[in-house]
Amino acid sequence: MSTCENVLLTNKNKDGYTISLIARFEKQLPVSYIIRVTSPQGNKTDYMCTLNNLKQFCTSLKTLQSFSETELYSNNIQELKKVLTAQNIKDFANLLKSNKLNC
């Protein structure tokens, strides 16, 4: 089976790890989307996802960014651990979504 991959986005951090978004094309199959992390030594870890999974992941990252920019939480690590939870980020996303609908 013939396979082709296109790198859509890539980013390298200060420690030399690279994260990439890849579209994989295979004959007679739908497009696969891959989030690939590559270590500085070249070891690769792939997370295969659907376009819907990718959308949910990106929405979560955008919400986390907005959540972090509000600076509504403490600099105390224990307090931050209590505030920075998946449920709080989901609630914050719903609040942002609701606010956009009301504007």
**What order of strands is seen across the sheet that includes strand 44-49?**
3-12, 18-26, 32-38, 44-49
Compute the average pLDDT of residues 52-78: 79
> Which residues are paired to 36 by β-bridges?
20, 46
* CA dist., res. 66 & res. 62, Å (int): 6
Is a pLDDT exceeding 50 seen at residue 103?
A: no
Query: Are 21 and 31 a contacting pair, CB within 8 Å?
Result: no
Residue type, 1: M
pLDDT of residue 102: 52
Query: Are 66 and 96 a contacting pair, CB within 8 Å?
Result: yes
Assign 43 a pLDDT band (cuts: 50, 70, 90). Answer: very high
Query: Are 62 and 56 a contacting pair, CB within 8 Å?
Result: no
Q: Domain-by-domain residue ranges, the chain?
A: 1-49, 51-103
* CA dist., res. 75 & res. 29, Å (int): 48
Is a pLDDT exceeding 50 seen at residue 51?
A: yes
Mean pLDDT, rounded, of the chain: 84
pLDDT of residue 57: 84
Is a pLDDT exceeding 90 seen at residue 97?
A: no
